[in-house]
Amino acid sequence: MSGPKSIGPVRIRLRTPPAAAGLLWIRRGLRAFLRRPGGFMGLFGLVLLALLMVAMTSPLVEMAAMALMPLLSLGFMVATEDLLNDLAVRPRAFWAPVARDAAARRALLNIGLVYLATFLLMYFFGDRLDGGEAKAWMQAIATPRPDGSMPEPPPISGLGMFVLLLKTFGLALVSIPLWHAPALVHWGGQRAAQAMFSSIVALWRTRAAFGVYLLGWCAIGSLFIFTLFLLAAAFGGLQMAVVLMTPVSWALSAVFYVTLWFGFADTFEITAAGGSGARAG
């Protein structure tokens, strides 16, 4: 419900959906995406354009912009709720959460700063440990050869592999308190610390469904990569395969962000404190 500038007191009840609900979130997200594919892909295109513009500025600005990343998922959730309420999918979905009130803006900013601080800690601490070996290794395997084929993975030391795992684990760990936190600020009126704690509790309570949800997306990602390599073999190079699969990648990214709303709505029942008017779920 992105319209009101502020919300009154609400009551939040935590649900425990069955494990199979994880796949249902993906299916519902895909169904919602197919109702307005152009709208959702347009939203994701705006995000890509914004990231490109930021990347053309200084590295300092690029890093600072990461504090806005929680607004990406929240914006798609607002747009998905708008769609379910038979409203248009519009870019204003990214602005609605920060336009609500000053308290919500502060809470969302604090959540973004937690994400930024964790990223910087993993980035600088990891590079300090291995001298940037893990970062160079990632860049090397992600850079195609001139003929379009993927390079052979270069050797990496034990320390470099440790740092690579450390960065991955660190960012995955911080995603737990941040997963539902922006939505709990927007629909639940919670402050940053309370929202992050609620997110941790919610993911633990729904761990079976959330695990199935993640496995479902792993299967989709694996199928995408398998198809990419099949196309590369059929067309004799990775470049053509990437061109053919880019729209699919774009659409899948948008679908992923659409599914976030259904996981949130199935996990939390948010109603007005007086008992009337459901706000989520």
DSSP annotation string for 166-230: HHHHHHHHHHHHHSSHHHHHHHH---HHHHHHHHHHHHHHTHHHHHHHHHHHHHHHHHHHHHHHH
Query: The pTM is what?
Result: 0.84
- Pick the closest to residue 77 from 234, 202, 258, 209 (CA basis): 258
Instruction: Give the pLDDT of residue 91.
Output: 92
How far is residue 93's CA from residue 81's CA, in Å, rounded to a whole number? 10
3: confidence class by pLDDT, cuts 50, 70, 90: very low
Scanning the structure block, which residue is given the tokens 């059929």?
234
Instruction: Report pLDDT digits (tens) over 122-152.
Output: 878 877 887 878 778 777 766 666 655 556 6
- The percentage of residues in the chain with a pLDDT greater than 70, rounded to a whole number, is 88
172 pLDDT exceeds 80?
no
Position 13 scores a pLDDT of 93
For the cut 50, the answer to whether the pLDDT of residue 277 exceeds it is no
Residue 6 binned pLDDT confidence (cut-offs 50, 70, 90): very low
Q: What is the pLDDT of residue 229?
A: 81
CA distance 18 to 247: 33
Of 66, 114, 112, 70, the closest CA to residue 94 belongs to 70
What pLDDT does residue 217 have? 94
Residue 237 CA to residue 234 CA, distance in Å, equals: 8
Contact 118, 125 (CB under 8 A): no
| Exposure string for 55-78, b = 16+ CB within 10 A, e = fewer | eeeeeeeeeebbbbbbbbbbbbbb
Three-state secondary structure call for residue 9: coil
Q: What is the pLDDT of residues 25-66, one digit of tens each?
A: 999 999 999 999 999 999 999 988 888 888 777 777 777 778
Amino acid at site 90: R
Query: Are 100 and 5 contacting, i.e. CB atoms less than 8 angstroms apart?
Result: yes
Segment 110-126, tens digit of pLDDT: 999 998 888 888 878 87
Tokens (6 digits) for 20: 């199979």
pLDDT at 82 over 50: yes
In angstroms, the CA 51 to CA 105 distance is 21
Q: What amino acid is encoded at 164 in this protein?
A: L
- If one compares 1 and 245, the residue with the highest pLDDT of the two is 245
As a whole number, mean pLDDT of residues 205-218 equals 95
Question: Residue 2 pLDDT more than 70?
Answer: no
| The amino acid at 224 | F
pLDDT at residue 5, as a whole number: 39
- Whether the per-residue pLDDT at 174 is higher than 90: the answer is no
pLDDT at 1 over 50: no
Q: Which residue has the higher pLDDT, 148 or 243?
A: 243
205 to 16, 19, 199, 267: CA distances (angstroms): 6, 11, 10, 9
Dihedral class, residue 189 (left if φ above 0, else alpha if ψ from -120 to 50, else beta): left
Rounded to the nearest integer, the mean pLDDT of the chain is 85
